Amino acid sequence: MKIVAFHSYKGGTGKTHLSANLATALARRGYKTCILDLDFRGPNLQTLCGVETKTTINDLLFDPDLSSEDILVSFEEEYQIPLFAAFASTDFRKMGEIVRADKKQRQRSLKRILKLRDELSDANFDFTIIDTSPGVQMESIDGLVISDATCLVLKADDFDISGTKSMVTQLYSLLDSINYVVLNRVVAESCPPEEGVWSSTDLEQVKKFENTIKNEMRMEVLTSIPCFCEVAREGSRNIFSLKHPDHPFSKHIDNLATALLEGFK
Ligand SMILES: Nc1ncnc2c1ncn2[C@@H]1O[C@H](COP(=O)(O)OP(=O)(O)OP(=O)(O)O)[C@@H](O)[C@H]1O
Ligand SMILES: [Mg+2]
């Protein structure tokens, strides 16, 4: 099983959308895939997936008797693809427990996340995709530590880039994973690009930006996903590519899946 985490320095870069849509793309290719919501501070994967669950990853972190089977939700029947998810709680009391956790509980949580990883691997999952909280929260770091690849999601603005750069220098350099940058919500001359394909003028701009990032961060830019009004308009009500498989956004996500698979070869 390979684990891929989506992370960012700042909020709202598109981690949740990219995690859920990438997991869908992988499941569509026949890979048994699970999305784990480790964004305990601002969870919205439940809204995106249109489900309400009682037993969440929060419960698993505090109750040693729970296992992956208690928290996994299957979408196999509904969408006819091997897609599963485990959610973070939207209950304020449970969110508070995570924020206030002392050192002992944080150690217990990491152990239980590792146990969850092993259980998913034993259940023959091919991929686990992790959605995290932005910044250097302990739970996000736990997610990064167990990952084989990380996708640092960046929007194209200067504040984002300077903060991300210091996080990369101090945190990512300690990780064992393959670390990529994914540029999301990219705005070029024509926005959104026609049929989702950059024109030659756009491509020149995008490549220039990718090169700046590459040089500043010393990380590979896996892909650049344009800003699509249709994606923004739908907000967080569904997994976009499940509803619109032929939309250019879904094709960009599929390219992201191809690039990640290539990196694991
Ligand atoms: N390529 C895109 N084009 C247009 N809108 C996008 C794109 N990707 C994401 N969005 C929009 O950006 C917003 C933020 O996305 P999302 O919730 O996935 O970000 P996030 O990084 O998970 O945020 P948070 O840090 O708060 O968890 C959403 O409204 C989503 O619809
Ligand atoms: Mg999110």
Residue 195's pLDDT band (cuts 50, 70, 90): confident
Q: How far is the CA of 188 from the centre of ligand 1 (A)?
A: 18
Q: How far apart are CA 230 and CA 136, in angstroms?
A: 31
Residue 136's nearest CA partner among 235, 41, 47, 200 is 41
pLDDT, tens only, 228-243: 999 999 888 899 999 9
pLDDT, tens only, 96-120: 999 999 999 999 999 999 999 999 9
Q: Is 137 left (phi over 0), alpha (psi -120 to 50) or beta?
A: beta
Q: How far is the CA of 172 from the centre of ligand 1 (A)?
A: 22
Provide the CB-side half-sphere exposure for 72 (13 A, CA). 20
Domain ranges of the chain: 2-252
Work out which ligand 1 atom sits closest to the CA atom of 229.
Answer: 4
Q: Is the CB of 228 under 6 A from ligand 1?
A: yes
pLDDT, tens only, 58-109: 999 999 999 999 999 999 999 999 999 999 999 999 999 999 999 999 999 9
Neighbours of ion ligand 2 (CB under 5 A): 15-16
Is the CATH number of domain 2-252 3.40.50.300?
yes
Residue 47's nearest CA partner among 67, 20, 23 is 20
What is the per-residue pLDDT for 216? 87
**Residue from 8, 15, 17 whose mutation best tests the ligand 1 pocket (most atoms within 8 A of CB):** 17
- The answer to whether 245 and 204 are in contact (CB under 8 A) is no
Computed over every residue of the chain, the mean pLDDT equals 93
Q: Is the CB of 58 under 6 A from ligand 1?
A: no
Average pLDDT of 113-131? 98
Q: Is the CB of 42 under 6 A from ligand 1?
A: yes
Q: How far is the CA of 40 from the centre of ligand 2 (A)?
A: 10
Residue 174: exposure state from Cβ atoms within 10 A (0-12, 13-18, ≥19): exposed
- The answer to whether 167 and 8 are in contact (CB under 8 A) is no
Q: How far apart are CA 152 and CA 33, in angstroms?
A: 20
Q: How far is the CA of 54 from the centre of ligand 1 (A)?
A: 25
What is the per-residue pLDDT for 262? 97
Q: How far is the CA of 166 from the centre of ligand 1 (A)?
A: 22
H helices within 29-133, ranges in order?
45-49, 57-62, 68-71, 76-79, 92-100, 103-122
Q: Is the CB of 14 under 6 A from ligand 1?
A: yes
Q: Is the CB of 191 under 6 A from ligand 1?
A: no
How many angstroms separate the Cα of 168 from the Cα of each of 141, 144, 178, 204? 12, 12, 13, 26
Stated pTM of the model = 0.96
Q: Is 80 left (phi over 0), alpha (psi -120 to 50) or beta?
A: left
| Most confident segment among 193-197, 199-203, 223-227 | 223-227
